[in-house]
Structure 1
């Protein structure tokens, strides 16, 4: 069976695709897997899973007026032409779209070829690309209950499966983490800004770094683009506090093995509220403070985090509550209160969907077999 995977070009799309690719291989070892989409991020990771990568140009309409608008408009027809070419010569049995602007040309052309389509929405607010592509899909799979902005025409084809997660992230080792990050024996606060970093979160952490590095140890994924600058800022702010810099570990990006070890050793997590991070953390059950990204499209991170807060599965700081002293107080509360951590751990794990990747792979294979 030939299967095409497609989606946008960030870690929030690529990492779930890796989980799905592994499940497709497990359930259908001889499947031919090909990714067609923006290949700027994660192409090498997909290729390591024996997925053939075919990069295309994909236009992304900016949410605000910008000089890039004309360039993005020119990319749109180019993306459709390249998608047509790639699908015509490969002619898959089924297409799986993981969301993001990169899947629009591929899904649309697949519909023209009458190829069955499965799409998945990660967030609690349906993105524009999903709303467009859902009309062409045989199956629409969702991560969150009560997902909003879903076209009424496709609601009957929608099913909640959760967000696919790489299960290896639960196989970290605390002793290996201690060696990898050169940790002492203090409680560990893991800070995750996403695969591309998060400027606001990084700024907040600079302001509370002296207190955190005194009371605990910090592993902070900053994003590769700002890692060097952030490391200099941390060194400067910790300079008046002797022997604290060695307790603040700045890392540009945590690959799969490093992230698994970081999860294994963490006591508390501070994270953005993207769906990928939420479902990974739910699988681990780690007590988490979510800081939703205000600029996220349709405020989907705020909606994601609100669902968990309503369930009592995590803490959320946003808007007027997103202040350094409140973040510090929340972290210190969780570090000191083992009973509170256990309550969050139990509720968060109950929210997890560990079989999401398997369920998505099974649905994709079933539709592909109908065409074969």
Structure 2
């Protein structure tokens, strides 16, 4: 099978695309071509993943349905034409988009050439590109049931509520591996704190008070991923308070984690932003969460993601502008100090999890390419 994949700009669009094609490769032989832009992270990530990448030039859309976006589609006719050239040369059996404005001309070109098309939307509030493309494509896979209502009535019959694709190693990593790899105590409950690959200043600042409160505790350990730019500041500030994390006995601070699947495997509670893929990984593992949505995400989609998880009983949401050390300490104590609460949240999180989402999307794509309806 020949698969053309488009998704770019941020890791939140790129890694789901990689996960889906890996799942398709497990179902049968595939030849893969990614289409992206030079400006997006895909220009760096996709070649490192071992896939061929072709680049096109695309302008972004406004984050709402508007005449300006229609005009922009017309003004980017060159990128549609280039996409049509690539499709004619590669002859894909299916074209899949996972979000980002690069998907616009690629999926539109595929639709015009009558190649089977699918988009995958990770968030509760769909991105503008996917909302436009929904009218043209053959299949729409969504990460949340709540996302369905945000597509037009005519598009809803195409929707598959699959959950969001996660890396297979998220499910195969074990607690024992995580404890060993991260040099944690096997006898303490672990709180994993991460604001994403670049960190989150508001979470990091609140964590200064959290570390001071929990330092030396025998029952809880804190694994805090600060982001590269914040690491020295956080470690330096803790030293001002007399806390040396290396000798604290229960505080581990990292600038970045390359083995996040192992960290998730040994975590009892997570303090996270509310990106769709991070939430998919947490719920697949059944990890309760304190969520602090990034307030500047497009259309505030992270808060909508977080509220969907909170509504199911798997998380507590603290808005970024309401976050402080005292509030975070209180919520951690409330959850970690009550075994029943922690257990109930873990069950609710596990119930939300869709660890087979990538396989479900891959099978739907294979069926679509073969002319079958699922």
What's the secondary structure of 1:354's corresponding residue?
Answer: coil
Of 206, 210, 221, the residue aligned with 1:208 is 210
Q: State the partner residue of 2:222.
A: 218
CA-to-aligned-CA distance 1:272-321 (integer Å, 9 cap, x gap): 11110111111110111111111111111111111121111211112664
**Using a 3 Å threshold, how does the CA distance of structure 1 residues 213 and 84 change in structure 2: closer, same or farther?**
farther
Q: State the partner residue of 1:67.
A: none
The two structures, once aligned, show a CA RMSD in angstroms of 2.7
Q: State the partner residue of 2:349.
A: 348
d(CA) in 1 for partners of 2:215 and 2:93?
53
Task: Give TM-score, length-normalised by structure 2.
Answer: 0.86
Of 179, 189, 194, the residue aligned with 1:192 is 194
Contact 1:206–1:234 (CA<8 Å) still a contact in 2?
Answer: no
Contact 2:56–2:79 (CA<8 Å) still a contact in 1?
Answer: yes
Q: Work out the number of aligned pairs and report it.
A: 358
Q: State the partner residue of 2:241.
A: 240
**Using a 3 Å threshold, how does the CA distance of structure 1 residues 230 and 37 change in structure 2: closer, same or farther?**
same
Flag structure 1 segments of 5+ consecutive residues without an equivalent.
Answer: 65-71
d(CA) in 1 for partners of 2:5 and 2:53?
9
Q: State the partner residue of 2:160.
A: 159
What's the secondary structure of 1:269's corresponding residue?
Answer: strand
d(CA) in 2 for partners of 1:108 and 1:221?
40
Contact 2:23–2:362 (CA<8 Å) still a contact in 1?
Answer: yes
Q: CA deviation at 1:202?
A: 2.7
d(CA) in 2 for partners of 1:360 and 1:329?
40
d(CA) in 2 for partners of 1:266 and 1:277?
14
Flag structure 2 segments of 5+ consecutive residues without an equivalent.
Answer: 65-71
Q: State the partner residue of 1:84.
A: 84
**Using a 3 Å threshold, how does the CA distance of structure 1 residues 4 and 219 change in structure 2: closer, same or farther?**
same
Higher RCO structure (Cα 8 Å, ≥6 apart): 1
d(CA) in 2 for partners of 1:250 and 1:87?
47
What's the secondary structure of 1:119's corresponding residue?
Answer: strand
Q: State the partner residue of 1:253.
A: 256
What's the secondary structure of 2:151's corresponding residue?
Answer: coil
Q: CA deviation at 1:21?
A: 1.4
Task: Give TM-score, length-normalised by structure 1.
Answer: 0.86
Q: CA deviation at 1:111?
A: 1.6
What's the secondary structure of 1:53's corresponding residue?
Answer: strand
